[in-house]
Amino acid sequence: MRRRVLLVFGGDSSEHEVSCLTAGSVLRALDRDRFDVTCVGIAKGGRWVAVDEAVVRSYRIVDDTLPTVEGSLSDAVLIRTVSGADVARVDGDTLVDRTPVDVAFALLHGPFGEDGTIQGLFEMMGVRYVGAGVLSSAVCQDKGAMKQQFAVHDLPTGPYVIVTDAQWTADPDACLSRIGTLAAPWFVKPARGGSSMGITRVTSTQDLPAAIAEARDFDPNVIVEQGIMGAREIECAVLGSLDGPPVASLPGEIDVHTESRFYDFATKYLPDQPVTLDIPADLPDAVIECVRELAVRAFVALGVEGLARVDTFVFPDGTVILNELNTMPGFTSTSMYPKLWEAAGVAYTELVTRLLDLALARPLGLR
Binding residues for ligand ADP, rule: CB under 6 A, are 158, 187, 189, 193-196, 199, 225, 227-228, 233, 262-263, 311, 323-324
Residue nearer to ligand ADP on the CB measure, 195 or 349: 195
Closest approach, Cβ 194 to ligand ADP, in A, equals 5
To the nearest whole angstrom, how small is the minimum distance from the Cβ of residue 96 to ligand ADP?
39
To ligand ADP, the closest distance from the beta carbon of 23 in angstroms equals 21
Nearer of residues 164 and 267 to ligand ADP, judged by Cβ: 267
Q: How far is the CB of 335 from ligand ADP (least distance, A)?
A: 13
Residue (142 or 305) nearer to ligand ADP, CB: 142
Nearest to ligand ADP of 86, 264 (CB atom): 264
**Closest residue to ligand ADP: CB criterion:** 263
What's the min distance (Å) between Cβ of 354 and ligand ADP? 25
CB of residue 296 vs ligand ADP: minimum separation in angstroms?
20
- DSSP secondary structure string for all residues of 198-238: T-EEE-SGGGHHHHHHHHHTT-SSEEEEE---S-EEEEEEE
Q: Which is nearer to ligand ADP, 89 or 147 (CB)?
A: 147
Q: Residue 302 and residue 308: Cα distance in Å, rounded?
A: 11
3-state secondary structure 82-144: CCCEEEEEEECCEEEEEEECCEEEECCCCCCCCCCHHHHHHHHHCCEECCCCHHHHHHHHCHH
> Quick one: 126 or 158, whose CB is closer to ligand ADP?
158
CB of 231 to ligand ADP, least distance (A): 7
CA distance linking residue 4 with residue 38, whole number of Å: 7
Residue 155 neighbours by CB under 8 Å, 6+ apart:
149, 294, 297, 298, 301, 322
Side chain identity, residue 236:
C
Q: How far is the CB of 266 from ligand ADP (least distance, A)?
A: 12
What is the rounded distance in angstroms from the CA atom of residue 164 to the CA atom of residue 228?
A: 22
Helix (H) or strand (E) holding 36: strand 35-42
Rounded CA gap, 21 and 334, in Å?
11
> What contacts 348, CB < 8 A, 6 or more positions away?
25, 29, 333, 338, 341, 342
CA 98 and chain centroid, separation: 30
Measured from the CB atom, the residue of 189 and 354 that comes closer to ligand ADP is: 189
- Distance CA(303)–CA(329), nearest Å, equals 16
Judged by beta carbon, residue 305 or residue 311, the one nearer ligand ADP is 311
Q: Could you tell me which of 146, 138, 144, 265 has the C-alpha nearest to residue 197?
A: 265
